[in-house]
Structure 1
Amino acid sequence: MALTVVAWLAHAAPVAAQSADLVLCDRLAGDPTDPDKPADVKGTPDVVPADIATAIKYCKVASGSSRRALYQLGRAYAANRQLPEAIGAWRKAADKGSTAAMVELGVLYGTGAGVATDEAEARKLFERAAAAGNPRGVTNLAALSGGGGFAGDPARARELLAKAAESNAEAQYQLGLMLADGTGGARDDVGARNLFEKAAAQDHPGALERMGEFTQEGRGGPKDASAAKAYYERAAALGDEDAKKALKRIECPYAIKDKRGNLVTTLCF
Protein backbone atom coordinates (compact mmCIF):
# COMPACT_ATOMS: atom_id res chain seq x y z
CA MET A 1 0.00 0.00 0.00
CA ALA A 2 2.80 2.43 0.92
CA LEU A 3 4.62 1.82 -2.38
CA THR A 4 1.36 2.40 -4.27
CA VAL A 5 1.02 5.76 -2.56
CA VAL A 6 4.57 6.68 -3.52
CA ALA A 7 3.97 5.67 -7.14
CA TRP A 8 0.81 7.76 -7.29
CA LEU A 9 2.48 10.77 -5.72
CA ALA A 10 5.40 10.57 -8.12
CA HIS A 11 3.15 12.23 -10.70
CA ALA A 12 2.12 14.96 -8.29
CA ALA A 13 4.03 17.99 -7.06
CA PRO A 14 7.65 17.43 -5.85
CA VAL A 15 6.73 18.62 -2.34
CA ALA A 16 4.11 15.86 -2.04
CA ALA A 17 6.59 13.22 -3.26
CA GLN A 18 9.11 14.42 -0.69
CA SER A 19 6.46 14.12 2.00
CA ALA A 20 5.81 10.52 1.00
CA ASP A 21 9.53 9.75 1.30
CA LEU A 22 9.50 11.17 4.82
CA VAL A 23 6.44 9.10 5.72
CA LEU A 24 8.26 5.92 4.72
CA CYS A 25 11.47 7.08 6.41
CA ASP A 26 9.50 7.68 9.63
CA ARG A 27 7.82 4.30 9.40
CA LEU A 28 11.02 2.32 8.91
CA ALA A 29 13.60 4.28 10.92
CA GLY A 30 11.71 6.61 13.25
CA ASP A 31 13.06 6.74 16.81
CA PRO A 32 10.33 6.49 19.49
CA THR A 33 12.43 8.73 21.79
CA ASP A 34 13.15 11.48 19.24
CA PRO A 35 11.56 14.77 20.35
CA ASP A 36 11.30 15.73 16.67
CA LYS A 37 9.02 12.75 16.01
CA PRO A 38 5.37 13.69 15.35
CA ALA A 39 2.89 12.22 17.82
CA ASP A 40 1.27 10.05 15.16
CA VAL A 41 4.56 8.34 14.27
CA LYS A 42 5.09 5.21 16.38
CA GLY A 43 8.75 4.67 15.53
CA THR A 44 10.80 1.52 16.02
CA PRO A 45 13.40 0.82 18.75
CA ASP A 46 15.71 -0.70 16.12
CA VAL A 47 15.66 -0.58 12.35
CA VAL A 48 14.57 -4.05 11.22
CA PRO A 49 17.34 -5.72 9.18
CA ALA A 50 14.96 -6.45 6.30
CA ASP A 51 14.02 -2.74 6.15
CA ILE A 52 17.52 -1.24 6.25
CA ALA A 53 18.06 -0.81 2.51
CA THR A 54 14.60 0.68 2.01
CA ALA A 55 15.04 2.98 5.01
CA ILE A 56 18.35 4.28 3.67
CA LYS A 57 16.77 4.87 0.25
CA TYR A 58 13.81 6.92 1.45
CA CYS A 59 15.54 8.66 4.35
CA LYS A 60 18.32 9.80 2.02
CA VAL A 61 15.78 11.49 -0.25
CA ALA A 62 13.82 12.99 2.65
CA SER A 63 16.96 14.20 4.42
CA GLY A 64 17.33 17.03 1.91
CA SER A 65 14.60 18.97 3.68
CA SER A 66 14.20 17.30 7.07
CA ARG A 67 16.61 17.12 10.00
CA ARG A 68 14.51 14.29 11.41
CA ALA A 69 15.11 12.29 8.24
CA LEU A 70 18.82 13.06 8.48
CA TYR A 71 18.90 11.63 11.98
CA GLN A 72 16.91 8.61 10.88
CA LEU A 73 19.24 8.11 7.93
CA GLY A 74 22.04 7.89 10.48
CA ARG A 75 20.06 5.23 12.39
CA ALA A 76 19.62 3.21 9.21
CA TYR A 77 23.33 3.48 8.37
CA ALA A 78 24.26 2.45 11.93
CA ALA A 79 21.95 -0.56 11.68
CA ASN A 80 23.79 -1.49 8.48
CA ARG A 81 27.14 -1.13 10.28
CA GLN A 82 28.08 1.86 8.15
CA LEU A 83 29.29 3.91 11.09
CA PRO A 84 31.21 6.60 9.14
CA GLU A 85 28.08 7.30 7.07
CA ALA A 86 25.96 7.32 10.23
CA ILE A 87 28.30 9.80 11.91
CA GLY A 88 28.18 12.05 8.85
CA ALA A 89 24.39 12.06 8.84
CA TRP A 90 24.21 12.69 12.58
CA ARG A 91 26.68 15.58 12.36
CA LYS A 92 24.53 17.26 9.73
CA ALA A 93 21.37 16.62 11.72
CA ALA A 94 22.96 17.97 14.92
CA ASP A 95 24.09 21.10 13.05
CA LYS A 96 20.44 21.60 12.10
CA GLY A 97 19.36 21.27 15.72
CA SER A 98 18.45 17.57 16.08
CA THR A 99 18.90 16.81 19.78
CA ALA A 100 18.55 13.06 19.11
CA ALA A 101 21.55 13.26 16.77
CA MET A 102 23.49 15.18 19.43
CA VAL A 103 22.86 12.36 21.90
CA GLU A 104 23.99 9.67 19.46
CA LEU A 105 27.17 11.58 18.69
CA GLY A 106 27.74 12.12 22.40
CA VAL A 107 27.48 8.38 23.02
CA LEU A 108 30.04 7.73 20.28
CA TYR A 109 32.48 10.26 21.72
CA GLY A 110 31.91 8.93 25.22
CA THR A 111 32.58 5.33 24.21
CA GLY A 112 35.13 5.90 21.44
CA ALA A 113 33.01 4.05 18.89
CA GLY A 114 33.97 5.19 15.40
CA VAL A 115 35.72 8.30 16.75
CA ALA A 116 38.50 9.04 19.22
CA THR A 117 37.22 9.04 22.79
CA ASP A 118 36.57 12.63 23.84
CA GLU A 119 34.65 13.03 27.10
CA ALA A 120 34.68 16.82 26.83
CA GLU A 121 33.01 16.68 23.41
CA ALA A 122 30.51 14.11 24.68
CA ARG A 123 29.64 16.42 27.56
CA LYS A 124 29.13 19.38 25.22
CA LEU A 125 26.78 17.38 23.02
CA PHE A 126 24.79 16.02 25.96
CA GLU A 127 24.60 19.53 27.46
CA ARG A 128 23.22 20.95 24.20
CA ALA A 129 20.63 18.18 24.01
CA ALA A 130 19.74 18.51 27.70
CA ALA A 131 19.37 22.27 27.49
CA ALA A 132 16.90 21.75 24.65
CA GLY A 133 14.88 19.35 26.81
CA ASN A 134 15.92 16.00 25.35
CA PRO A 135 15.44 13.40 28.14
CA ARG A 136 18.24 11.16 26.86
CA GLY A 137 20.57 14.14 26.80
CA VAL A 138 19.75 14.78 30.45
CA THR A 139 20.17 11.20 31.62
CA ASN A 140 23.37 10.63 29.64
CA LEU A 141 24.81 13.85 31.01
CA ALA A 142 23.90 12.78 34.54
CA ALA A 143 25.56 9.40 34.03
CA LEU A 144 28.71 10.71 32.34
CA SER A 145 31.83 9.89 34.33
CA GLY A 146 29.90 8.21 37.10
CA GLY A 147 27.48 11.05 37.63
CA GLY A 148 30.04 13.83 37.08
CA GLY A 149 28.53 15.01 33.83
CA PHE A 150 27.13 18.10 35.49
CA ALA A 151 30.63 19.20 36.49
CA GLY A 152 29.93 19.08 40.22
CA ASP A 153 26.49 20.70 40.03
CA PRO A 154 24.05 18.01 41.26
CA ALA A 155 21.40 20.64 41.92
CA ARG A 156 21.42 21.44 38.20
CA ALA A 157 21.18 17.74 37.50
CA ARG A 158 18.03 17.56 39.61
CA GLU A 159 16.55 20.52 37.81
CA LEU A 160 17.08 19.07 34.34
CA LEU A 161 16.06 15.57 35.39
CA ALA A 162 12.83 16.89 36.91
CA LYS A 163 11.84 18.29 33.54
CA ALA A 164 12.77 15.12 31.67
CA ALA A 165 11.08 12.92 34.31
CA GLU A 166 7.70 14.22 33.25
CA SER A 167 7.72 11.70 30.41
CA ASN A 168 10.90 9.60 30.51
CA ALA A 169 11.38 6.43 32.58
CA GLU A 170 15.18 6.67 32.70
CA ALA A 171 14.96 10.26 33.94
CA GLN A 172 12.44 9.18 36.58
CA TYR A 173 14.83 6.47 37.73
CA GLN A 174 17.89 8.75 37.79
CA LEU A 175 16.04 11.49 39.66
CA GLY A 176 14.68 8.91 42.08
CA LEU A 177 18.22 7.81 42.88
CA MET A 178 19.21 11.40 43.61
CA LEU A 179 16.21 11.95 45.88
CA ALA A 180 16.84 8.65 47.66
CA ASP A 181 20.48 9.55 48.33
CA GLY A 182 19.90 13.23 49.04
CA THR A 183 22.17 14.20 46.14
CA GLY A 184 21.73 17.76 44.92
CA GLY A 185 19.12 18.58 47.54
CA ALA A 186 17.11 17.21 50.42
CA ARG A 187 16.56 13.47 50.78
CA ASP A 188 13.00 12.54 49.87
CA ASP A 189 12.11 8.86 50.17
CA VAL A 190 8.46 9.43 49.34
CA GLY A 191 9.34 11.36 46.19
CA ALA A 192 11.95 8.78 45.21
CA ARG A 193 9.47 5.94 45.64
CA ASN A 194 6.87 7.74 43.53
CA LEU A 195 9.42 8.18 40.74
CA PHE A 196 10.59 4.58 40.93
CA GLU A 197 6.98 3.44 40.80
CA LYS A 198 6.33 5.46 37.63
CA ALA A 199 9.43 4.07 35.93
CA ALA A 200 8.68 0.54 37.16
CA ALA A 201 5.26 0.76 35.52
CA GLN A 202 7.19 1.17 32.25
CA ASP A 203 9.28 -1.95 32.99
CA HIS A 204 12.47 -0.10 33.82
CA PRO A 205 14.67 -2.85 35.38
CA GLY A 206 16.53 -0.59 37.79
CA ALA A 207 13.35 1.08 39.00
CA LEU A 208 11.71 -2.31 39.53
CA GLU A 209 14.68 -3.38 41.67
CA ARG A 210 14.53 -0.13 43.66
CA MET A 211 10.79 -0.59 44.20
CA GLY A 212 11.54 -4.07 45.49
CA GLU A 213 13.96 -2.66 48.06
CA PHE A 214 11.74 0.27 49.07
CA THR A 215 8.71 -2.00 49.43
CA GLN A 216 10.67 -4.64 51.31
CA GLU A 217 11.97 -2.06 53.80
CA GLY A 218 8.84 0.08 53.96
CA ARG A 219 10.86 3.03 52.79
CA GLY A 220 8.84 6.00 51.55
CA GLY A 221 5.60 4.01 51.86
CA PRO A 222 3.98 0.78 53.04
CA LYS A 223 6.04 -2.33 53.74
CA ASP A 224 4.94 -5.39 51.75
CA ALA A 225 7.17 -8.46 51.47
CA SER A 226 5.09 -10.19 48.78
CA ALA A 227 4.96 -7.05 46.63
CA ALA A 228 8.71 -6.60 47.06
CA LYS A 229 9.35 -10.12 45.85
CA ALA A 230 7.12 -9.52 42.81
CA TYR A 231 9.09 -6.37 41.93
CA TYR A 232 12.38 -8.25 42.28
CA GLU A 233 11.08 -11.06 40.08
CA ARG A 234 10.05 -8.65 37.31
CA ALA A 235 13.43 -6.89 37.47
CA ALA A 236 15.31 -10.19 37.48
CA ALA A 237 13.35 -11.38 34.44
CA LEU A 238 14.63 -8.28 32.65
CA GLY A 239 18.22 -9.14 33.58
CA ASP A 240 18.81 -6.94 36.63
CA GLU A 241 21.62 -8.57 38.61
CA ASP A 242 20.89 -6.73 41.87
CA ALA A 243 17.33 -8.03 41.77
CA LYS A 244 18.60 -11.59 41.27
CA LYS A 245 20.82 -11.20 44.34
CA ALA A 246 17.91 -9.79 46.34
CA LEU A 247 15.76 -12.80 45.45
CA LYS A 248 18.58 -15.09 46.56
CA ARG A 249 18.77 -13.27 49.90
CA ILE A 250 15.02 -13.70 50.36
CA GLU A 251 15.32 -17.42 49.69
CA CYS A 252 18.45 -17.79 51.83
CA PRO A 253 18.19 -15.14 54.56
CA TYR A 254 20.64 -16.67 57.06
CA ALA A 255 24.36 -16.27 56.43
CA ILE A 256 27.04 -18.36 58.15
CA LYS A 257 30.44 -16.66 58.38
CA ASP A 258 33.86 -17.67 59.64
CA LYS A 259 35.83 -15.90 62.39
CA ARG A 260 37.11 -13.34 59.90
CA GLY A 261 33.62 -12.48 58.77
CA ASN A 262 33.89 -14.23 55.43
CA LEU A 263 30.75 -15.86 54.07
CA VAL A 264 30.88 -19.65 54.36
CA THR A 265 27.37 -20.55 53.28
CA THR A 266 23.74 -19.51 53.51
CA LEU A 267 20.69 -21.28 54.88
CA CYS A 268 17.71 -21.41 52.57
CA PHE A 269 14.05 -22.11 53.10
Structure 2
Amino acid sequence: MKRALRRILFCAALAAVVPAPAHAQSADLVLCDRLAADPSDPDKPADVKGVAEVAAADIATAIKYCAVAARSQRRAMYQLGRAYAAKGQINEATAAWRKAADKGSSSAMVELGVAYGTGTGVAKDEEQARKLFERAAEAGNPRGVSNLAALGGGGAPADPARSRELLGRAAQTNAQAQYQLGMMLSEGSGGARDDVGARAMFEKAAAQNHPAALERMGAFAAEGRGGSKDASAAKAYYERAAALGDEDARKALEKLRCPYVIKDKRGGVVTTLCF
Protein backbone atom coordinates (compact mmCIF):
# COMPACT_ATOMS: atom_id res chain seq x y z
CA MET A 1 0.00 0.00 0.00
CA LYS A 2 2.81 2.40 0.94
CA ARG A 3 4.69 1.50 -2.25
CA ALA A 4 1.59 2.23 -4.35
CA LEU A 5 1.08 5.55 -2.58
CA ARG A 6 4.71 6.57 -3.17
CA ARG A 7 4.33 5.73 -6.86
CA ILE A 8 1.20 7.84 -7.18
CA LEU A 9 2.89 10.79 -5.46
CA PHE A 10 5.97 10.41 -7.67
CA CYS A 11 3.87 10.41 -10.85
CA ALA A 12 1.92 13.46 -9.67
CA ALA A 13 5.15 15.33 -8.95
CA LEU A 14 6.58 14.36 -12.35
CA ALA A 15 3.46 15.61 -14.11
CA ALA A 16 3.81 18.91 -12.30
CA VAL A 17 7.33 19.54 -13.57
CA VAL A 18 7.04 18.12 -17.11
CA PRO A 19 5.54 20.79 -19.39
CA ALA A 20 2.62 20.03 -21.67
CA PRO A 21 3.53 19.47 -25.33
CA ALA A 22 4.16 22.78 -27.09
CA HIS A 23 1.97 21.72 -30.00
CA ALA A 24 -1.09 20.97 -27.85
CA GLN A 25 -4.11 22.73 -29.37
CA SER A 26 -7.73 23.27 -28.44
CA ALA A 27 -10.41 21.17 -30.10
CA ASP A 28 -11.86 24.38 -31.58
CA LEU A 29 -8.57 25.24 -33.29
CA VAL A 30 -8.11 21.68 -34.55
CA LEU A 31 -11.55 21.74 -36.18
CA CYS A 32 -11.03 25.27 -37.50
CA ASP A 33 -7.74 24.16 -39.09
CA ARG A 34 -9.33 21.06 -40.57
CA LEU A 35 -12.16 22.96 -42.24
CA ALA A 36 -10.69 26.35 -43.11
CA ALA A 37 -6.87 26.39 -43.02
CA ASP A 38 -5.19 27.92 -46.05
CA PRO A 39 -2.56 25.56 -47.55
CA SER A 40 -0.30 28.55 -48.34
CA ASP A 41 -0.62 30.31 -44.98
CA PRO A 42 2.85 30.66 -43.38
CA ASP A 43 1.16 30.49 -39.96
CA LYS A 44 -0.21 27.02 -40.70
CA PRO A 45 1.57 24.16 -38.89
CA ALA A 46 3.30 21.71 -41.23
CA ASP A 47 1.04 18.85 -40.18
CA VAL A 48 -2.12 20.75 -41.16
CA LYS A 49 -2.99 20.09 -44.81
CA GLY A 50 -5.46 22.93 -45.37
CA VAL A 51 -8.17 23.35 -48.02
CA ALA A 52 -8.09 25.41 -51.19
CA GLU A 53 -11.66 26.57 -50.51
CA VAL A 54 -13.93 26.17 -47.50
CA ALA A 55 -16.51 23.57 -48.60
CA ALA A 56 -20.11 24.80 -48.68
CA ALA A 57 -21.17 22.02 -46.33
CA ASP A 58 -18.50 23.06 -43.82
CA ILE A 59 -19.03 26.83 -43.73
CA ALA A 60 -21.35 27.01 -40.71
CA THR A 61 -19.20 24.61 -38.68
CA ALA A 62 -16.01 26.45 -39.65
CA ILE A 63 -17.47 29.79 -38.56
CA LYS A 64 -18.60 28.29 -35.25
CA TYR A 65 -15.26 26.78 -34.28
CA CYS A 66 -13.00 29.41 -35.85
CA ALA A 67 -14.87 32.15 -33.98
CA VAL A 68 -13.96 30.49 -30.69
CA ALA A 69 -10.37 29.68 -31.67
CA ALA A 70 -9.88 33.22 -33.02
CA ARG A 71 -9.95 34.57 -29.47
CA SER A 72 -6.41 33.33 -28.97
CA GLN A 73 -5.02 32.43 -32.42
CA ARG A 74 -4.47 34.88 -35.27
CA ARG A 75 -4.50 32.14 -37.90
CA ALA A 76 -7.96 31.12 -36.69
CA MET A 77 -9.10 34.75 -37.12
CA TYR A 78 -7.75 34.67 -40.67
CA GLN A 79 -9.51 31.35 -41.27
CA LEU A 80 -12.73 32.79 -39.86
CA GLY A 81 -12.46 35.43 -42.58
CA ARG A 82 -12.07 32.66 -45.18
CA ALA A 83 -15.22 30.97 -43.91
CA TYR A 84 -17.19 34.24 -43.99
CA ALA A 85 -15.93 34.93 -47.52
CA ALA A 86 -17.03 31.46 -48.63
CA LYS A 87 -20.49 32.30 -47.29
CA GLY A 88 -20.53 35.58 -49.21
CA GLN A 89 -20.41 37.71 -46.04
CA ILE A 90 -17.70 40.05 -47.30
CA ASN A 91 -18.05 42.70 -44.59
CA GLU A 92 -17.59 40.07 -41.87
CA ALA A 93 -14.67 38.56 -43.81
CA THR A 94 -12.80 41.86 -44.16
CA ALA A 95 -13.43 42.66 -40.50
CA ALA A 96 -11.88 39.32 -39.47
CA TRP A 97 -8.94 39.81 -41.84
CA ARG A 98 -8.35 43.30 -40.47
CA LYS A 99 -8.16 41.94 -36.91
CA ALA A 100 -5.86 39.09 -37.99
CA ALA A 101 -3.64 41.51 -39.94
CA ASP A 102 -3.37 43.76 -36.88
CA LYS A 103 -2.11 40.71 -34.98
CA GLY A 104 0.53 40.02 -37.64
CA SER A 105 -1.11 37.51 -40.01
CA SER A 106 0.60 38.05 -43.37
CA SER A 107 -2.07 36.00 -45.17
CA ALA A 108 -4.75 38.29 -43.77
CA MET A 109 -2.72 41.28 -44.99
CA VAL A 110 -2.76 39.79 -48.50
CA GLU A 111 -6.52 39.15 -48.48
CA LEU A 112 -7.20 42.63 -47.15
CA GLY A 113 -4.88 44.03 -49.81
CA VAL A 114 -6.81 42.17 -52.50
CA ALA A 115 -10.04 43.62 -51.10
CA TYR A 116 -8.64 47.17 -51.33
CA GLY A 117 -7.09 46.53 -54.73
CA THR A 118 -10.38 45.32 -56.20
CA GLY A 119 -12.80 47.38 -54.13
CA THR A 120 -14.45 44.27 -52.70
CA GLY A 121 -16.26 45.06 -49.45
CA VAL A 122 -14.27 48.27 -49.03
CA ALA A 123 -13.65 51.42 -51.06
CA LYS A 124 -11.04 50.74 -53.73
CA ASP A 125 -7.66 52.05 -52.59
CA GLU A 126 -4.59 50.83 -54.47
CA GLU A 127 -2.22 52.69 -52.19
CA GLN A 128 -3.65 50.92 -49.17
CA ALA A 129 -3.44 47.63 -51.08
CA ARG A 130 0.23 48.34 -51.84
CA LYS A 131 1.00 49.02 -48.17
CA LEU A 132 -0.65 45.75 -47.11
CA PHE A 133 1.20 43.76 -49.78
CA GLU A 134 4.46 45.39 -48.69
CA ARG A 135 3.85 44.39 -45.06
CA ALA A 136 3.04 40.82 -46.12
CA ALA A 137 6.09 40.68 -48.41
CA GLU A 138 8.38 41.96 -45.67
CA ALA A 139 7.01 39.18 -43.46
CA GLY A 140 8.05 36.67 -46.13
CA ASN A 141 4.62 35.90 -47.59
CA PRO A 142 5.08 34.79 -51.24
CA ARG A 143 1.62 36.02 -52.28
CA GLY A 144 2.46 39.39 -50.80
CA VAL A 145 5.60 39.49 -52.93
CA SER A 146 3.89 38.46 -56.18
CA ASN A 147 0.90 40.77 -55.64
CA LEU A 148 3.20 43.67 -54.85
CA ALA A 149 5.15 43.04 -58.03
CA ALA A 150 1.98 42.82 -60.10
CA LEU A 151 0.25 45.83 -58.60
CA GLY A 152 2.42 48.61 -59.97
CA GLY A 153 -0.16 51.37 -59.67
CA GLY A 154 0.27 55.11 -59.59
CA GLY A 155 2.26 54.96 -62.82
CA ALA A 156 5.11 53.15 -61.08
CA PRO A 157 6.32 49.98 -62.80
CA ALA A 158 6.60 46.70 -60.97
CA ASP A 159 10.07 46.22 -59.50
CA PRO A 160 11.41 42.75 -60.42
CA ALA A 161 14.67 43.33 -58.52
CA ARG A 162 12.75 44.12 -55.34
CA SER A 163 10.47 41.12 -55.90
CA ARG A 164 13.52 38.89 -56.34
CA GLU A 165 15.03 40.22 -53.10
CA LEU A 166 11.83 39.62 -51.12
CA LEU A 167 11.33 36.18 -52.62
CA GLY A 168 14.85 35.32 -51.55
CA ARG A 169 13.80 35.81 -47.93
CA ALA A 170 10.56 33.88 -48.25
CA ALA A 171 12.28 31.07 -50.18
CA GLN A 172 14.19 30.02 -47.08
CA THR A 173 11.12 28.12 -45.89
CA ASN A 174 8.30 28.38 -48.45
CA ALA A 175 7.88 26.10 -51.49
CA GLN A 176 5.84 28.60 -53.51
CA ALA A 177 8.47 31.29 -52.96
CA GLN A 178 11.18 28.82 -53.97
CA TYR A 179 9.32 28.08 -57.20
CA GLN A 180 8.70 31.77 -57.96
CA LEU A 181 12.31 32.68 -57.28
CA GLY A 182 13.41 29.78 -59.46
CA MET A 183 11.33 31.16 -62.31
CA MET A 184 12.85 34.63 -61.92
CA LEU A 185 16.36 33.19 -61.84
CA SER A 186 15.73 31.01 -64.88
CA GLU A 187 14.33 33.94 -66.88
CA GLY A 188 16.84 36.53 -65.70
CA SER A 189 14.04 38.66 -64.26
CA GLY A 190 15.18 41.23 -61.70
CA GLY A 191 18.84 40.28 -62.11
CA ALA A 192 21.24 37.98 -63.90
CA ARG A 193 20.04 34.68 -65.28
CA ASP A 194 21.17 31.81 -63.06
CA ASP A 195 20.21 28.31 -64.19
CA VAL A 196 22.16 26.66 -61.37
CA GLY A 197 20.41 28.77 -58.76
CA ALA A 198 17.05 28.22 -60.45
CA ARG A 199 17.51 24.47 -60.47
CA ALA A 200 18.42 24.54 -56.78
CA MET A 201 15.20 26.45 -56.00
CA PHE A 202 13.06 24.11 -58.09
CA GLU A 203 14.67 21.12 -56.41
CA LYS A 204 13.83 22.46 -52.95
CA ALA A 205 10.21 23.12 -53.91
CA ALA A 206 9.94 19.77 -55.72
CA ALA A 207 11.04 18.01 -52.53
CA GLN A 208 7.87 19.45 -51.00
CA ASN A 209 5.74 18.12 -53.90
CA HIS A 210 5.15 21.51 -55.53
CA PRO A 211 3.60 20.45 -58.91
CA ALA A 212 4.99 23.26 -61.06
CA ALA A 213 8.46 22.93 -59.50
CA LEU A 214 8.40 19.19 -60.23
CA GLU A 215 7.56 19.98 -63.86
CA ARG A 216 10.41 22.50 -64.06
CA MET A 217 12.83 19.98 -62.56
CA GLY A 218 11.74 17.57 -65.27
CA ALA A 219 12.46 20.15 -67.95
CA PHE A 220 15.82 21.13 -66.47
CA ALA A 221 16.87 17.48 -66.14
CA ALA A 222 15.74 16.76 -69.71
CA GLU A 223 17.69 19.72 -71.11
CA GLY A 224 20.66 19.59 -68.75
CA ARG A 225 20.01 23.15 -67.59
CA GLY A 226 21.80 24.13 -64.41
CA GLY A 227 23.16 20.62 -63.91
CA SER A 228 23.44 17.18 -65.41
CA LYS A 229 21.20 15.88 -68.17
CA ASP A 230 19.21 12.86 -67.02
CA ALA A 231 16.32 11.50 -69.08
CA SER A 232 15.27 9.00 -66.42
CA ALA A 233 15.15 11.65 -63.72
CA ALA A 234 13.23 13.97 -66.05
CA LYS A 235 10.58 11.32 -66.65
CA ALA A 236 10.29 10.63 -62.91
CA TYR A 237 9.79 14.33 -62.16
CA TYR A 238 7.21 14.67 -64.93
CA GLU A 239 5.31 11.64 -63.62
CA ARG A 240 5.17 13.06 -60.10
CA ALA A 241 4.00 16.45 -61.38
CA ALA A 242 1.39 14.91 -63.67
CA ALA A 243 0.05 12.81 -60.80
CA LEU A 244 -0.53 16.09 -58.93
CA GLY A 245 -2.46 17.52 -61.88
CA ASP A 246 0.18 19.55 -63.72
CA GLU A 247 -0.92 19.77 -67.36
CA ASP A 248 2.49 20.81 -68.73
CA ALA A 249 4.02 17.71 -67.16
CA ARG A 250 1.34 15.53 -68.72
CA LYS A 251 2.10 16.98 -72.15
CA ALA A 252 5.83 16.48 -71.58
CA LEU A 253 5.24 12.82 -70.76
CA GLU A 254 3.21 12.43 -73.92
CA LYS A 255 6.09 13.87 -75.94
CA LEU A 256 8.47 11.42 -74.32
CA ARG A 257 6.14 8.58 -75.22
CA CYS A 258 5.51 9.84 -78.77
CA PRO A 259 8.68 11.72 -79.76
CA TYR A 260 8.32 11.54 -83.53
CA VAL A 261 5.82 13.80 -85.28
CA ILE A 262 4.88 13.30 -88.95
CA LYS A 263 3.72 16.47 -90.68
CA ASP A 264 2.23 17.25 -94.06
CA LYS A 265 3.80 19.70 -96.53
CA ARG A 266 1.95 22.58 -94.87
CA GLY A 267 3.40 21.74 -91.51
CA GLY A 268 0.25 20.23 -90.11
CA VAL A 269 0.56 17.22 -87.80
CA VAL A 270 -0.55 14.05 -89.52
CA THR A 271 0.33 11.59 -86.79
CA THR A 272 2.84 10.77 -84.10
CA LEU A 273 4.98 7.69 -83.63
CA CYS A 274 4.83 6.35 -80.11
CA PHE A 275 6.78 3.74 -78.17
Code of the residue aligned with 2:31 in structure 1: it is L
| Alignment-derived partner of residue 32 in structure 2 | 29
Question: Residue 250 and residue 42 in structure 1: after superposition, are their counterparts in 2 closer, same or farther (change >3 A)?
Answer: closer
* Residue equivalent to 1:198: 204
CA distance in 1, matches of 2:240, 2:120: 32
Change in CA separation of 1:231 and 1:69 when aligned onto 2, cut-off 3 Å:
closer
2:94 matched residue in structure 1: 87
How does the TM-score come out when normalised to structure 1?
0.75
Which residue of structure 1 lines up, in the alignment, with residue 63 of structure 2?
Answer: 56
| 1:85-164 matched pairs, under 5 angstroms | 85-108=92-115, 122-142=129-149, 144=150, 151-164=157-170
TM-score, reference length from structure 2: 0.74
Query: Does residue 212 of the first structure (1) align with residue 218 of the second (2)?
Result: yes
3-state DSSP of counterpart to 1:255: strand
Alignment partners' CA distance in 1, 2:257 and 2:219 = 15
Q: For residues 107 and 41 of structure 2, what CA distance do their matches in structure 1 show? A: 6
One-letter code of the match for 1:247? L
Corresponding position of 2:258: 252
One-letter amino acid matched to 1:23: S
Identify if the C-alpha distance between structure 1 residues 121 and 259 changes in structure 2 by more than 3 Å, giving closer, same or farther.
Answer: farther
Q: Which runs of 5+ in 2 are unaligned?
A: 1-24
1:45 aligns with 2:58: no
Cα distance in structure 1, aligned partners of 2:85 and 2:181: 30
> Do the aligned residues in 1 keep the contact of 2:223 with 2:229 (CA within 8 Å)?
yes
Q: 1:95 to 1:199 in 2, by over 3 A?
A: same
Q: Contact 2:32/2:65 (CA < 8 Å) preserved in 1? A: no
Structure 1 residue 177 and structure 2 residue 183: aligned?
yes
How has the CA–CA distance of structure 1 residues 36 and 243 changed in structure 2, closer, same or farther, with 3 Å as cutoff?
Answer: closer
Q: Would you say the 8 A contact 2:77–2:96 is kept in 1? A: yes
Three-state SS of the structure 2 residue aligned to 1:221 is coil
**1:24, CA displacement in angstroms?**
4.0
- Aligned CA RMSD, in angstroms, stands at 3.2
Instruction: Provide the residue aligned with 1:4 in structure 2.
Output: none
**Compared CA separation, residues 111 and 255, structure 1 to 2 (3 A):** farther
Q: Which amino acid aligns with 2:111?
A: E
Measured after TM superposition, the shift of residue 266 of structure 1 is: 1.8
In structure 1, how many angstroms separate the alpha carbons of the residues matched to 2:201 and 2:268? 36
Number of residue-to-residue matches in the alignment = 242
| 1:66-90 Cα deviation digits (max 9, x unpaired) | 6444323213323545444222211
Shift of 1:27: 1.9
Distance 1:199 1:66, change over 3 A: closer
Whichever residue aligns with residue 230 of structure 1, its letter is: A
CA distance in 1, matches of 2:209, 2:192: 27
Distance 2:189 2:148 in 1: 15
Once structures 1 and 2 are overlaid, which stretch shifts more, 78-87 or 44-53? 44-53
Measured against aligned partners, the alpha-carbon deviations of 1:188-240 in whole angstroms (never above 9, x if no partner) come to 11111111011011111110100001111111111111111111111111111
The CA distance in 2 between the partners of 1:85 and 1:243, in whole Å, is 40
Partners of 1:63 and 1:208 lie apart in 2 by 36
Residues of 1 paired with 2:193 and 2:61: CA distance? Answer: 50
Identical counterparts, % of pairs: 71
Question: Aligned in 2, Cα 1:95/1:244: closer, same or farther, shift over 3 Å?
Answer: same
Residue pair 2:164, 2:184 contacting (<8 A) in 1 also:
yes
Flag structure 1 segments of 5+ consecutive residues without an equivalent. Answer: 1-21
